[in-house]
Structure 1
Amino acid sequence: MAPVLSEVDVLVIGGGNAGFSSAISAAESGARRVLVIDSCPEDWVGGNSYFTAGAFRTVHHGLADVLPIVNNVDEATASKIDMDPYTTTNFADDISRICVGRSDPALSHTLVNDSNAAVKWLAGHGVRFQLSFNRQAYKIDGRFKFWGGMCLKTQDGGKGLIEDHRRAAKKLGVKVLFSTAAKRLVVDPATKAVGSVIVEDAAGEREILAGAVILAAGGFEANPRMRSQFLGPNWDFAKVRGTPYNIGSCLEMAIRDVSAKQAGNWSGCHSVAWDANAPPDSGDRVISNEFTKSGYPLGLMLNLEGERFVDEGVDLRNYTYAIFGKAILAQPGHAAFQVWDAQMTPWLRSEEYRDGIVEKITASTLEELAEKCAKCGLKDPNKFVETIREYNNAVTVFQEENPGHKWDPAVKDGLSTQSSRKQLALSKSNWATPLIKGPYMAIKATCGVTFTFGGLAVDHETAGVISSATNSVVPGLYCAGEMVGGLFYDNYPGGSGLTSGAVFGRRAGRAAAAHAHNDKSPKSFSARL
């Protein structure tokens, strides 16, 4: 028998946004002893949430609804903002469309309808929200035009979010143990409830007795074996965008120990265009999300053979950036070049394309650019130039036929490569402008895997984990964050991951606190925190 480390009301496994949301919710719901454990050392606190841009997608009723919870808008700025409401219908339609109609209806309904309240709940606990001018608005004709349905981010991105979570948790008396990995779930044979967790720390294996347990330990995106097994061939080549500690061990633990029902898109994941020079096996905690390279709607993406392979303008960036990493991974050499001319480079976000973060390839002509890209892996410089010139010709013909079309990066503007006289085999459906003005710039990108979509089936009301053996909730076991399966398929609407962690973490915390309060099973312990 492992020695008892402690007894708690609620034990949360995982210290990212979902884990801290769960712990804060449990503590405010009456759980007196709430403990968060994480397998990472303290200097890796935050899980994948730390590496995000801090974007939260939420239903809102327009600018007046979100102004009270943001800290970066004065009266003068507010008067220059254009922001349409983002309704429950908008959010639900986006999930249905982007997730190919496969999202679990009960889970997506809960996410959508709880989103506004969850964001305001976080703000009430000190999470500092801002309007995302840098990522979700363009300044056009003197006005800030928000686009893509999303407007909120946290101050200082994921780093700031985790700082705020830790501050709120400490205020509520939540304890945190790092370098403490969950190894086994222990089920009471009489009640069939999860009553303790065997953990491993520097002292060896120990037992934590718990009135309820919440799983919030992330997916398997940092495990190359599981990526290859579930996502498919070549996924071991993908670069890990976030924490190296999300290796799927808690998913496997729950499936093994309590027959947790598996759900969702196990062959799917969130993957982005990522700096080809980024570290392979984990994110960089200083550079963090700045390795993302999502400026492709403003230009073109060409593979190492010099050919385009996606419609860069098929939809707003919010709805394509999480799948284009997969498209890059499928290309020869698992890499691609993003290309712009001097008309578009001023519109690129500085945090993703600033000097010192990305290796910029610049040239005064397309031919010179191709020669320089060849030194970075481009195999066919002539095809590269030919592809861009063919694209330019198609755009010019479209503009001649449609002189009234105006470029507008905040909407799907309809500027295309497809006209009555010229059509490309692979169109660019929006924001198609010719690359004709030097200097030109290219950067090399690869696939960065963010999080996996496969997970555990949960009850949408309580976030209780469902057993595959009984098809009912396992007493005392809950789940939130990336470990929840069935919500996202193939793709996801940008910013809905952090919102999901807050929505289901909040529900899991409430339900776990109630279960712990009603738990009458005797427990003994040798030490308290």
Structure 2
Amino acid sequence: MNFDCIVIGSGHAGFCAALSAHEHGCRHVLIVEKAPQQWSGGNGYFTAGAHRTVHGGLGDLLPLVHNVTSDSVSLIDIEPYTAEEFARDIMRLSDGRSDPGLVAALIDGSRDTIEWLARKIDVHFTLSFNRQAYQVEGRQKFWGGMALSVVDGGKGLIATHLHAVQSAGIEIWYETPALNLIVEENTVVGVLVRKNGETVSLRSYAVVLAAGGYESNRTLRSMHLGPEWSQARVRGTPFNTGDGIAMAHDIGAKLTGDWSGCHSTCWDALAPEDSGDRELSNQYTKSGYPLGIMINLRGKRFVDEGEDFRNYTYAKFGRAILDQPEGVAWQVFDAKVTKWLRVEEYGDDVAQKVTADNLDTLAGTLGYEGKDKEELLVTINKFNTAVRAYKTENPAAAFDPAIKDCLSTTSSKVSVTPPKSNWALAIDSHPFTAVKVACGITFTFGGVAIDPHTAGVISEKTHKPIKGLYCTGEMVGGLFYGNYPGGSGLTAGAVFGRKAGLEAARSSRGKLDPSRSKRGDPRC
């Protein structure tokens, strides 16, 4: 069975690759997906749809979005986000380890790719008021370098892709796991799959790998990330088990990146362990910690909750929670800040909250006893003392969740360890609220080495691209290390997916069946 292009994986990155290949001349495009149809969408389905991109501010983004009225424009503050800022954010969060070529390719292609998603694929972008802005003095103030989301989040994003591939005549074979890549004369010419219980050989001029990482594989998590990661909750699809990476490695692909790192986050401790929930999906995220404090089961704080905007800390704080006793912690808030907690994450229908009118009662209700309860009360008391000491020395300092307000626990006379560097308010106004959180793993950072310009998979032996083989999405290694700026993952999948689709069409040039092809991009 012959195809112009085969894409392995039906997530956001795979859909982008398939649609790009079709756009540039491939008329017989196939997506193979080992998951059943009801699990279509990979991890993209479980996201909030956030896309980080270079932009020139509010005026640049308004033509792309669908949720801003003419009356509200004058009340929105969005600062431009430059290529230099984007690069600086990735590199500082990776401690300078990210591959500069991949970073440059992602950033250079980000704005044009957002335009492509909006105009060609009909993705309905929105300004993310609920996740990326706070209303301060009557104005919607965006923060953290990111502003764009998608109508209905990841669910809406994947629904749009499914409509687009159907309109393009792109086939999707569900419950069809890819087994091996077919190589002839150092060129990938197809893939073996299992369909309806039988092994089927599929021939293709190009293959795009978009099968995700290994975050849903407990064995590989323990091997690469550490044995404690067997306790992590899987945020998304249970079908990302590392198959694509293994197939690429089997034919000599170079592996690269941070094999001990991953994207994780503060996740509801009551969420399912081995897969995301298709209904609640990203609502299990508990990202309000900058507004309060996090305390482990021994009654101690363990991170600087105000170190940076949530966009830049949540991917590493999940790991910090996993390192705590039993791999869980409590987020604690007082009455001054609960109005700022996002309803979709902390609403009564999605979060099991514990409330109390005094801290002693709260500690007991949370299950603290003896020394652990005493330690919790001491921790909060010392925290409050440090907050008040800073405020005494800096009476003009004011709480503002939309900026790094420098409201901290560090003064000339008093400090706590770890500090809280921004948004530090005393935990002293009842009712007090607590939510139990665990570590939710999203995707792994180690993966396949690619050429940043073509998304071609690099050979370990020749250090050159393997002919006919491309890669995008969470399978790509070398882009993120240790941490990452929120919203970069979906953008990266789209940027390198577009490149992979274009190059797949170029691989097919002169080989396409004239009865199936029509003139595409002149670059092909």
TM-score after normalising by structure 2: 0.96
Inter-partner Cα distance in structure 2 for 1:406 and 1:96: 30
Inter-partner Cα distance in structure 2 for 1:520 and 1:7: 10
2:505 to 503, 513, 516: 513
Is 1:173 the counterpart of 2:169 in the alignment? yes
Residue 204 (structure 1) aligns with:
198
Residue 306 (structure 2) aligns with:
313
- Cα offset for 1:425? 2.4
Residue 304 (structure 1) aligns with:
297
1:484 to 476, 484, 499: 476
Q: Check the 8 A contact 2:4/2:512 in 1, yes or no.
A: no
**3-state secondary structure, aligned to 2:206:** strand
1:263 to 241, 256, 263: 256
Cα 1:60/1:379, change in 2 over 3 Å:
farther
Residue 277 (structure 1) aligns with:
270
2:54 to 51, 56, 59: 59
Inter-partner Cα distance in structure 1 for 2:370 and 2:34: 41
One-letter amino acid of the counterpart of residue 113, structure 2? A
Inter-partner Cα distance in structure 2 for 1:84 and 1:453: 30
- Cα offset for 1:519? 4.7
Residue 3 (structure 1) aligns with:
none
Residue 428 (structure 1) aligns with:
420
One-letter amino acid of the counterpart of residue 91, structure 1? F
**3-state secondary structure, aligned to 1:437:** coil
Residue 288 (structure 1) aligns with:
281
Inter-partner Cα distance in structure 2 for 1:236 and 1:350: 30
Residue 438 (structure 1) aligns with:
430
Cα 1:22/1:390, change in 2 over 3 Å:
same
**3-state secondary structure, aligned to 1:374:** coil
- Residues 86-122 of structure 1 show CA distances to partners (whole Å, capped at 9, x for unaligned) of 0111101111111110110110001011100001100
Is 1:127 the counterpart of 2:120 in the alignment? no
Residue 142 (structure 1) aligns with:
138
Q: Check the 8 A contact 1:465/1:473 in 2, yes or no.
A: yes
2:104 to 100, 109, 127: 109
Residue 336 (structure 1) aligns with:
329
Residue 241 (structure 2) aligns with:
247
Residue 230 (structure 2) aligns with:
236
Inter-partner Cα distance in structure 2 for 1:335 and 1:520: 55
Residue 214 (structure 1) aligns with:
208
Residue 372 (structure 1) aligns with:
365
Superposition pairs for residues 465-504 of structure 1, below 5 Å? Answer: 465-504=457-496
1:359 to 336, 352, 360: 352
Residue 409 (structure 2) aligns with:
417
- Cα offset for 1:378? 10
Residue 9 (structure 2) aligns with:
14
- Residues 116-143 of structure 1 show CA distances to partners (whole Å, capped at 9, x for unaligned) of 0001100012011000000000011110
Residue 453 (structure 1) aligns with:
445
One-letter amino acid of the counterpart of residue 458, structure 1? I
**3-state secondary structure, aligned to 2:135:** strand
One-letter amino acid of the counterpart of residue 58, structure 1? T
Is 1:34 the counterpart of 2:29 in the alignment? yes
- Cα offset for 1:379? 7.5
One-letter amino acid of the counterpart of residue 27, structure 2? R
One-letter amino acid of the counterpart of residue 368, structure 1? T
Structure 2, unaligned runs of 5 or more: 514-524
Structure 1, unaligned runs of 5 or more: 1-5, 522-529
- Cα offset for 1:201? 2.1
- Cα offset for 1:517? 2.1
Inter-partner Cα distance in structure 1 for 2:260 and 2:201: 34
- Number of equivalences: 512
**3-state secondary structure, aligned to 1:443:** strand
Inter-partner Cα distance in structure 2 for 1:7 and 1:203: 20
Inter-partner Cα distance in structure 2 for 1:142 and 1:77: 11
Residue 385 (structure 2) aligns with:
393
**3-state secondary structure, aligned to 1:410:** coil
Is 1:403 the counterpart of 2:403 in the alignment? no
Q: Check the 8 A contact 1:374/1:380 in 2, yes or no.
A: no
Q: Check the 8 A contact 2:26/2:512 in 1, yes or no.
A: no
Inter-partner Cα distance in structure 1 for 2:322 and 2:417: 21
**3-state secondary structure, aligned to 2:411:** coil
- Residues 30-51 of structure 1 show CA distances to partners (whole Å, capped at 9, x for unaligned) of 0011111110000000000000
Inter-partner Cα distance in structure 1 for 2:182 and 2:171: 22
One-letter amino acid of the counterpart of residue 143, structure 1? R
Inter-partner Cα distance in structure 2 for 1:253 and 1:476: 14
Residue 326 (structure 1) aligns with:
319
TM-score after normalising by structure 1: 0.95
Is 1:85 the counterpart of 2:80 in the alignment? yes
- Cα offset for 1:518? 4.0
Cα 1:194/1:381, change in 2 over 3 Å:
same
**3-state secondary structure, aligned to 2:237:** coil
**3-state secondary structure, aligned to 1:198:** strand
One-letter amino acid of the counterpart of residue 451, structure 2? D
Cα 1:188/1:58, change in 2 over 3 Å:
same
Inter-partner Cα distance in structure 1 for 2:75 and 2:507: 49
- Residues 151-202 of structure 1 show CA distances to partners (whole Å, capped at 9, x for unaligned) of 000110000000011111122221111100000001013xx11111000122
**3-state secondary structure, aligned to 1:160:** helix
**3-state secondary structure, aligned to 1:234:** helix
Inter-partner Cα distance in structure 1 for 2:450 and 2:99: 11
- Residues 401-420 of structure 1 show CA distances to partners (whole Å, capped at 9, x for unaligned) of 10000111011100000001
One-letter amino acid of the counterpart of residue 382, structure 2? E
Inter-partner Cα distance in structure 2 for 1:282 and 1:341: 32
Task: State the Cα RMSD in Å.
Answer: 1.2
Inter-partner Cα distance in structure 1 for 2:448 and 2:38: 28
One-letter amino acid of the counterpart of residue 58, structure 2? L
- Residues 350-406 of structure 1 show CA distances to partners (whole Å, capped at 9, x for unaligned) of 11100121110100000000000017x997112111101110011011101100001
Inter-partner Cα distance in structure 2 for 1:175 and 1:270: 31
